[in-house]
Amino acid sequence: MRIWISIRISIAVLVLALAPVLSAQRIKIGPQRLAPYVPSPPQVVEEMLRIAGVTENDMVYDLGSGDGRIVITAAQQFGARAVGVEIDHKLVEQTQARLRELNLSSRVEIVEQDAMEVDLSPASVVTLYLLTSSNEMLKPNLEKTLKPGSRVVSHDFRISGWTPSRTEVIRGEARTHTIYLYEVGKQ
Ligand SMILES: C[S@@+](CC[C@H](N)C(=O)[O-])C[C@H]1O[C@@H](n2cnc3c(N)ncnc32)[C@H](O)[C@@H]1O
Please tell me the distance between residue 39's alpha carbon and the centre of ligand 1 in angstroms.
Answer: 9
Give the whole-angstrom CA distance, residue 82 versus residue 45. Answer: 14
Give the whole-angstrom CA distance, residue 52 versus residue 165. Answer: 10
Q: Report the nearest atom of ligand 1 relative to the CA of 62.
A: 6
- Spatial neighbors of 144 by CB under 8 A, at least 6 apart, are none
Q: What is the mean pLDDT of residues 39-56?
A: 98
**Stated pTM of the model:** 0.87
Determine whether the shortest distance from the Cβ of 109 to ligand 1 is under 6 A: no
Q: What is the mean pLDDT of residues 123-142?
A: 97
Is-contact 73 45, C-beta < 8 A?
yes
Q: What is the mean pLDDT of residues 41-68?
A: 98
What pLDDT sits at residue 6?
A: 52
Query: pLDDT-derived band of residue 186, with 50, 70 and 90 as boundaries?
Result: confident
Sign of CA dihedral 117, 120, 121, 122: positive
Q: What confidence tens digit (pLDDT) does each residue in 159-180 have?
A: 999 999 999 999 999 999 999 9
Pocket perturbation via mutation, ligand 1, pick of 86, 126, 133, 178 by most ligand atoms within 8 A of CB: 86
Q: What confidence tens digit (pLDDT) does each residue in 2-38 have?
A: 555 454 544 443 433 434 444 444 445 678 999 999 9
Please tell me the distance between residue 165's alpha carbon and the centre of ligand 1 in angstroms.
Answer: 24
Please tell me the distance between residue 69's alpha carbon and the centre of ligand 1 in angstroms.
Answer: 12
Q: What is the mean pLDDT of residues 51-73?
A: 98
Q: Which residue has the higher pLDDT, 21 or 145?
A: 145
Give the whole-angstrom CA distance, residue 187 versus residue 166. Answer: 10
| Domain extents in the chain | 1-30, 42-183
Residue 109, SS3? Answer: strand
User: What letter represents residue 68's amino acid?
Assistant: G
Closest by Cα among 168, 172, 187, 183 to 41: 172
Is-contact 101 71, C-beta < 8 A?
no
The percent of residues above 90 in pLDDT, for the chain, comes to 82
Residue 180, SS3? Answer: strand
C-alpha distances out from residue 183 to 45, 57, 186, Å = 18, 16, 5
Please tell me the distance between residue 127's alpha carbon and the centre of ligand 1 in angstroms.
Answer: 11
What pLDDT sits at residue 3?
A: 52
Long-range contacts of 41-46 (CB under 8 A, 24+ apart): 41/172, 41/173, 41/177, 42/69, 42/73, 43/170, 43/172, 44/155, 44/170, 44/172, 44/177, 44/179, 45/69, 45/70, 45/73, 46/73, 46/77
Superfamily (CATH H level) for 42-183: Vaccinia Virus protein VP39 (3.40.50.150)
- Spatial neighbors of 27 by CB under 8 A, at least 6 apart, are none
Element containing residue 168 per DSSP (H, E): strand 166-171
What pLDDT sits at residue 31?
A: 87
What pLDDT sits at residue 25?
A: 44
